[in-house]
A = this chain, B = another copy of it.
Amino acid sequence: MFVVGIDIGGMTIKAGLIDENGKILQKAVCDTLPERNYKEIVKDLSKLVHTLCEKQGISIDVLGGVGIGSPGAIDCNKGIIVYAGNLNCKNAPLVQELGKYINVPIYLGNDADCAALGETKYGSGEGVANAIMVTLGTGIGTGFIINNQILQGGLGIGGEGGHICIEVDGQQCTCGEKGCWEAYASATALIRLTKEAMAKDKNSLLHKVASEQGEVNGRTSFIAYKKGDKTAIELVNKYVKYLATGLISYVNVFRPQIIILGGGVSNEGEYFIKMVEDYVKEHAFGKSFNKICKIVGATLGNDAGIIGAGMLAMGK
């Protein structure tokens, strides 16, 4: 069976033709141009599906289905993007609209959930029934897999795991509230923490690193850390603590078998993942009598979303 998985990003839309083993056989991309009306975006989704089938030399009719991962609050059952700030979408019936062009089953899910599904089916969490995927980017994306199923939420829209409060009256979050985990542990938060550390210590190596990089970014702190800069060491330890604090809350509630870290920050390397895992294992509830899950880096990279969206269509 072939399915198509589509990952709608803020900049580009990535699509893949996938076989029953989760392998991407063909790829196609287009610009998102997110300011457009969703009906224009849907026309491009249709074109992508046609392109993939042509490349593979198959008819659209033989597709098992099309799965779409979109940012924002998604009503999976109704196939609607309830709200997506990045896409300028509100109550957009994406599945119904695409159905005007393509006569195969179409499924819609949240992009972070799709990535989680992809990683637990064919990535670093392969074969694991209970997993949490956390993507550290501009914000924090989360996908919770419970007994092989995405946690959809009881009101038809998925969860927003970056917005658990870890500090009452804490740091301002983009969501309008204060103290959200995302405001402490996203890549954006790491950059803020780095700038704060630099402002406090004018002699830190962080300044030299940032100057060489031409900016302060998500890697600045780690470069100085590995060179033994004291302020950078404090900074990275603080960031690990913030990141682990949210993970520990999820470990205590979900007791997953595995946590998968994705996004740019997670590419820092094994040593960083190990620091996070050690902190979680040291502070999770019942550490003396309970098994605590392992923490790993994601392995599918940008393909996770495409593959996971395809899995929606494959019913896996």
Contacts and interface: CB of A to CB of B under 8 A. Distances in A.
Given A163-B252, A164-B164, A252-B164, A155 B73 contact: no
A255 B153 contact: yes
Interface stretch (A32-40, A99-107, A228-236, A285-293): A285-293
A159 interface: yes
A286 B74 CA distance: 12
B155 A129 contact: no
Contact of A165 (B144, B146, B248): B248
B245 A165 contact: yes
A293 B175 CA distance: 19
Nearest to A283: B177
A245 B168 contact: yes
Copies of this subunit: 2
Q: Among A82, A164, A167, A246, which residue has the most Cβ atoms of chain B within 10 A?
A: A164
A86 to B, nearest CB: 14
A117 interface: no
A157 B168 CA distance: 29
Interface string A136-149: 00000010101000
A1 interface: no
Given A131-B154, A151-B146, A154-B129, A168 B252 contact: no
B159 A130 contact: no
B146 A130 contact: no
A166 B175 CA distance: 17
B255 A83 contact: no
B255 A155 contact: yes
20 contacts: A83-B286, A90-B289, A130-B153, A144-B253, A153-B256, A154-B254, A154-B257, A155-B257, A155-B290, A157-B286, A159-B254, A159-B255, A160-B285, A160-B286, A161-B252, A164-B249, A164-B253, A165-B249, A166-B166, A175-B285
- Kindly list the 5 A-B residue pairs having the minimum CB-CB distance in the complex, ordered from nearest: A130-B154, A153-B255, A164-B249, A159-B253, A83-B289
